[in-house]
């Protein structure tokens, strides 16, 4: 009797739940091959790069560790691995149908691997995790919650570069898919959280030192290019991923995932001259 893809995926995740390196190895293996076709998938590097940073920070450590990890990060990461595993097992012939739209998107990506398909598959799982684990996010410290919003808006923006280039980059839309290609190092610009946050968890409660320490390119991207497009970006992503709740994670022009939208200081600071120049060169409207 063929095994259930969803059940087998759950068992695979359970085996590595408290083994951060095992999580990484499982995700890497899911991209390397799949019986019976021994099909290797592209974009493995992009799939594991951000996970490596999570490992360095310690957010995936067991909750019983002397330095416990983050319940939110562990849940988000676990969901992505489980969705990917279930899709792989379905394609390999295990029984069942996709248990969620995210798994369905990953199956579609495996059948037809493209950059746009990878973003849709990856971000479907990530966005679902954000919405499903909001209560866990609210238990994180203030700085962590601020950067959960930064991670989300950058992930959505990288997706839009490939799937909705004019939305993402206006008149420079023709070059947007190249900038967003997950196989290229330039994608790291949009997920360069390792350049902001130290390799430790939890963080101090003042956001300012972390923003001050970020390389200018990331802040130019956020303040000059992404922030003027946030409403259009979140609405587009909600429609693209079939998750209307995503649109509600932006209140006015303030990212508000597990964040008080009246707490505007970090979001409403005046852009520096490079960001102002970026707004003029690449206007949002």
**Predicted TM-score (pTM) of this structure:** 0.92
pLDDT at 213: 55
- Residue 39 Cα to chain centre, angstroms: 24
Alpha helices (H) in the chain, listed in sequence order: 5-16, 20-32, 44-57, 71-92, 101-111, 115-132, 134-138, 142-163, 165-169, 176-180, 208-213, 216-219, 230-241, 265-268, 273-281
pLDDT at 167: 95
Q: What parts of the chain have a pLDDT lower than 50?
A: 1, 35-36
pLDDT at 194: 61
pLDDT at 267: 85
pLDDT at 186: 57
pLDDT at 104: 97
Q: Give the pLDDT confidence of 224-265 residue by residue, as tens digits.
A: 899 999 999 999 999 999 999 999 999 999 999 999 999 998
Residues 32, 11: Cα–Cα separation, whole Å = 19
pLDDT at 44: 87
Q: Give the pLDDT confidence of 178-196 residue by residue, as tens digits.
A: 988 888 765 555 555 666 6
pLDDT at 165: 96
CA 244 vs CA 62, 131, 250: distances in Å: 33, 10, 12
């Amino acid at each position: 009797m063929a095994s259930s893809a969803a059940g087998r995926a759950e068992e695979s995740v359970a085996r590595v739940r408290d083994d951060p390196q095992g999580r990484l190895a499982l995700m890497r293996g899911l991209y390397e091959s799949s019986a019976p076709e021994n099909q290797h998938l592209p974009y493995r590097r992009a799939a594991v790069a951000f996970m490596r940073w999570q490992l360095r920070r310690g957010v995936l450590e067991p909750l019983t560790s002397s330095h416990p990890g983050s319940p939110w990060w562990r849940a988000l990461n676990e969901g992505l691995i489980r969705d990917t595993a279930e899709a792989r097992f379905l394609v390999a012939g295990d029984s069942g149908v996709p248990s969620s739209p995210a798994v369905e998107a990953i199956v579609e990506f495996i059948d037809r691997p493209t950059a746009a398909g990878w973003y849709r598959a990856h971000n479907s799982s990530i966005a679902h995790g954000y919405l499903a684990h909001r209560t866990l996010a609210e238990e994180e410290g203030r700085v962590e919650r601020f950067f959960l919003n930064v991670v989300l808006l950058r992930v959505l923006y990288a997706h839009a570069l490939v799937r909705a280039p004019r939305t993402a980059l206006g008149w420079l839309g023709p070059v947007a898919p190249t900038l967003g290609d997950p196989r290229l190092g330039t994608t790291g610009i949009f997920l360069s959280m390792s350049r902001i946050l130290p390799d430790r968890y939890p963080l101090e409660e003042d956001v300012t030192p972390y923003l001050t320490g970020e390389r200018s390119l990331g802040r130019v991207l956020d303040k000059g290019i992404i922030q003027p497009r946030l409403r259009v970006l979140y609405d587009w992503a909600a429609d693209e991923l079939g998750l209307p709740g995503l649109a509600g994670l932006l209140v006015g022009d303030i990212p508000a995932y597990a964040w008080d939208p009246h707490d505007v200081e970090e979001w409403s600071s005046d852009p520096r001259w490079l960001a102002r120049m970026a707004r003029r060169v690449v206007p949002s409207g």
